[in-house]
Amino acid sequence: MDFNDIVDSISIKPYYLDREAGQVIYCADCRDILPLIPDKSIDLVLTDPPYGVGIDFGIYQDTPQNWRDLMLWSIPELNRISQCVIMPCSRIVELPFIYANFKAIGYFVGISELRHKGHMWVSMIGSLTWFMAK
Ligand SMILES: C[S@@+](CC[C@H](N)C(=O)[O-])C[C@H]1O[C@@H](n2cnc3c(N)ncnc32)[C@H](O)[C@@H]1O
């Protein structure tokens, strides 16, 4: 499945699309768009979901329960669409939940290895840097 097949299978209008460059941006709720993306069609998901610690994200209420509901739905969905998922797994208080439920799919930036359900290992050389322009 190539880039154009993936874009054509998603019924939401892109915010930005350059077919020649193979670039597309959707501005959407992930719960609307992830189910439209074909299985294992994405090489890498790099995401920074909410933390469940009450940060003001506008329309999203960042409560622990909302965070858990979002993780329980979105992490399996991210695994379904992608070969590899990289995400900071929230602040340290939620680490036990992530490890108990997802076998260390999520990890903190800088941790050297990521294990997903016993069949995928990714070694990171160096670390990722998150830059918040605020
Ligand atoms: C931790 S912040 C991301 C911060 C960003 N990486 C940065 O450096 O500025 C999580 C973001 O996810 C957004 N969000 C929450 N629920 C969402 C959903 N269902 N679909 C898409 N985005 C969502 C929040 O509004 C918030 O902007």
Task: Give residue-wise pLDDT tens across range 74-90.
Answer: 988 988 898 777 776 55
39 lines ligand 1 (CB under 6 A): no
> What pLDDT shows up at residue 101?
75
49 lines ligand 1 (CB under 6 A): yes
- Which residue of 51, 53, 60 sits with most ligand 1 atoms within 8 Å of its CB, as the best mutation to test the pocket? 60
Q: What is the pLDDT of residues 11-60, one digit of tens each?
A: 999 999 999 999 999 999 999 999 999 998 988 888 888 888 888 888 88
60 lines ligand 1 (CB under 6 A): yes
pLDDT band at 120 (very low <50, low <70, confident <90, very high): very low
Q: Exposure of 42 by Cβ count < 10 A (0-12 exposed, 13-18 middle, 19+ buried)?
A: middle
Q: Find all residues with CB under 8 Å of 91, minimum gap 6, and list them.
A: 51, 52, 53
Q: Is the separation of the CB atoms in 77 and 96 below 8 Å? A: no
Q: Is the separation of the CB atoms in 49 and 71 below 8 Å? A: yes
Q: Which atom of ligand 1 is nearest to the CA of 132?
A: 8
Q: What is the pLDDT of residues 86-109, one digit of tens each?
A: 776 555 567 667 767 775 444 433
pLDDT at 126 over 50: no
Counting DSSP H helices and E strands in the chain, the numbers are 4, 8
